[in-house]
Structure 1
Amino acid sequence: MLRVIFLGTAGSLPTTNRNTSAVMVNRDGELMLFDCGEGTQQQMMRAKTGMKALTSIFISHFHADHILGIPGLIQTMSFHGRTEPLKIYGPHHVHEFVQILSALGYYKLHFEIEGVDLEPGDIIKREGYSIQAIKTEHSVPSLGYALVEEKRTGKFNREKATELGVPPGPLFSRLHRGEAIEINGRTILPEEVVGQSRPGRKIVYSGDTRPCNAILETSRDADILIHDATLAKDQQEWAIESMHTTAEEAANLAKKANVRQLILTHISSRYSDDVTPLFEEAKAVFENVTVAEDMMEIEVPYQDRTEFKNKTNR
């Protein structure tokens, strides 16, 4: 299971229907937060994500709308008896940031928080997947992130295995794991009954950024690209000055990268009542585009399946 939950989709300021930046990824029950704007813990409660399984927070940069939700969230987790450690990753000075968090509010945490500074290109390896830090272009030091799963074993051809005299059961499993077996004096190799390895899934989160080559290259053939689309193209000059991206620019990048689905987020408050300008200009360039809404959930299938499942909770 790989699910993306949009807890906050506003740009810079919260609105009546959008919270500040926070995207949660649930991978087989492990929760990861990408940015944590003000009020994120309440959004987690509304989305019923839980907090106990949260292992990591990945900060794109230290603007307030991306980090102010962290102090309240860690205090609530401590109040609920959390003892498992939490890692907070981000650009330089995360360690100092964690020290400041620990000193806020006159409360004593019951679990350890570790701050981990990342450089562009750093890779955090975990079981079955990795998180890659990506150089982005914003008004302060900033990172994007890519969750990249390892390749999966190829499909097992049961009919072929049976034709070769392999009885169903443990020998099937051994072949699928890559072990050669012997049947009636004949060696049967895994490649005789197991297809080519299949890709895992890839999700890219840009954070706040101008369109940049590092995001483009990392996003190639991604299942989902979650990209800054703060403004429409009629605000191009302001997008350049504020170091954000227009919806059209995000769509052009998604098209060049051949991603499967583009999700626009970090939406300016000027589009609070109507995101049509953002959607239409992106749609004109890239077909499979969605403007994120708070509480929107997306199930990410493997590439040998074709349909994404979108769900919005209201």
Structure 2
Amino acid sequence: MSKQTRDYVVLLGTKGGPSSRPGSSKPTSNLYVLDGQPIVVDCGLGVTHSLVGQGMHLRDLSLIFITHLHADHYLELGPLIHTAWTSGRKELIDIYGPAGLAAYWANFVEAMRADIDLRITDDGRMDIRDLVRIHAVDAGEVLTRGDLQVRALRTQHPPMTDCFAYSFRTPRSHVVCSGDTAPLPALVEFARGADLLVHEAMLVEALPALMAKLGDTGGKLKARLLRVHSPAQDAAAIAAEAGVGALAFSHLIPSNDPAFTEAHWRDAARGIYDGPLHIGHDGLRIDL
């Protein structure tokens, strides 16, 4: 990608949770293009096809960040790398995320051993096991690559503890993604003055209908969602206090319920955050 490309973010998959039903949006994945560098953030189901749909050549894939090890955030990580490999990628791909990613990758290549060994022998490809370098993330400084600086913040998403928000900063752009989290006051300073905050969001008023659809008669799932995710109003309040230039709601709970439209999401933020507000849908591009 050209260094002259305007910085932008694409919300490739915007659905909270790993399930898939007719007409549903895709689970979480994102493409950030900062100073010409394509960065993939989370790899939910559908990420490979979505990246190609944005015109990205998979041979350009070099940098991936995973927020946490819930399936809707990393289920397609292995297949994405494998497809990049078969599409001509020969240079290292750096993956940053929770320590458990190393075990995931080892098990993925073992599961695909028959295919991988055959392609190395028959196609003359490099060994895919030499293509990937995994970096276990902790809070604080994560990466400096040229003008790109990345920091991580632990979020509140129990029972997980290795769950991270990320800040991506270059001299001309600053983007923060919340990852999955309950309302987190520490995000205010972490996102201070960012050009864009991509924050998970939940419509509390829509939960009764969602629970009825999912058969949560005992209320256990609803209680968990309220404990580990952020109502849209709280996400808006964090954006307002942090003074961000724009806010995007993503990882939507619920998504694709025709009874709850974009107007409901905007109403949730009204009077709390009055800056530019993007309601996530698959393929939404936000120019910075």
Class of the TM-score when normalised by the shorter of the 2 chains: 0.7 to 0.9
CA deviation after TM superposition for structure 1 residue 134, in Å: 1.2
Is 1:232 aligned to 2:253, yes or no? no
1:68 & 1:136 partners in 2: Cα distance? 20
Q: What does residue 219 of structure 1 align with? A: 191
1:137 & 1:26 partners in 2: Cα distance? 27
2:107 & 2:150 partners in 1: Cα distance? 25
1:130-145 superposed matches below 5 A: 130-139=149-158, 140=160, 141-145=162-166
Q: Whose Rg is larger? A: 1
Is 1:96 aligned to 2:115, yes or no? no
2:99 & 2:82 partners in 1: Cα distance? 23
Which deviations, in whole Å up to 9, do the C-alpha atoms of 1:203-249 show, x marking residues without a partner? 00011101213321111111000001033357597476440001111
1:156-195 superposed matches below 5 A: none
Structure 1 residues not aligned, in runs of 5+: 151-199, 301-314
Question: Normalising by structure 2, what TM-score?
Answer: 0.81
Q: What does residue 277 of structure 1 align with? A: 264
Is 1:265 aligned to 2:256, yes or no? no
* Alpha-carbon spacing, 1:205–1:121, altered in 2? closer, same or farther (3 Å): same
CA deviation after TM superposition for structure 1 residue 63, in Å: 0.4
**265-274 or 53-62: which moved more?**
265-274
Aligned residue for 1:266, secondary structure, equals: strand
% identical aligned pairs? 25
* Alpha-carbon spacing, 1:207–1:14, altered in 2? closer, same or farther (3 Å): farther
1:96-115 superposed matches below 5 A: 96-106=103-113, 107-108=115-116, 109-110=127-128, 111-115=130-134
Q: What does residue 286 of structure 1 align with? A: 273
1:98 & 1:105 partners in 2: Cα distance? 11
1:90 maps to a residue whose letter is G
1:96 maps to a residue whose letter is A
Match among 205, 209, 214 for residue 181 of structure 2: 209
Question: Normalising by structure 1, what TM-score?
Answer: 0.74
1:80 maps to a residue whose letter is S
Aligned residue for 1:122, secondary structure, equals: strand
2:138 maps to a residue whose letter is E
Match among 102, 106, 129 for residue 148 of structure 2: 129
Match among 82, 90, 100 for residue 75 of structure 1: 82
CA deviation after TM superposition for structure 1 residue 269, in Å: 3.6
Q: What does residue 245 of structure 1 align with? A: 230
Query: Could you say which structure has the higher helix fraction?
Result: 2
2:232 & 2:223 partners in 1: Cα distance? 13
**123-132 or 239-248: which moved more?**
239-248
Aligned residue for 2:252, secondary structure, equals: coil
* Alpha-carbon spacing, 1:242–1:52, altered in 2? closer, same or farther (3 Å): farther
1:81 & 1:270 partners in 2: Cα distance? 35
* Alpha-carbon spacing, 1:262–1:76, altered in 2? closer, same or farther (3 Å): same
Q: Which has the higher contact order (CA 8 A, sep 6+)?
A: 2
Q: Is the 8 A contact 1:231 1:239 kept in 2?
A: no
1:253 maps to a residue whose letter is I
* Alpha-carbon spacing, 1:28–1:104, altered in 2? closer, same or farther (3 Å): farther
Aligned residue for 2:180, secondary structure, equals: coil
Aligned CA RMSD, in angstroms, stands at: 2.0
**54-63 or 107-116: which moved more?**
107-116
Q: What does residue 73 of structure 2 align with? A: 66
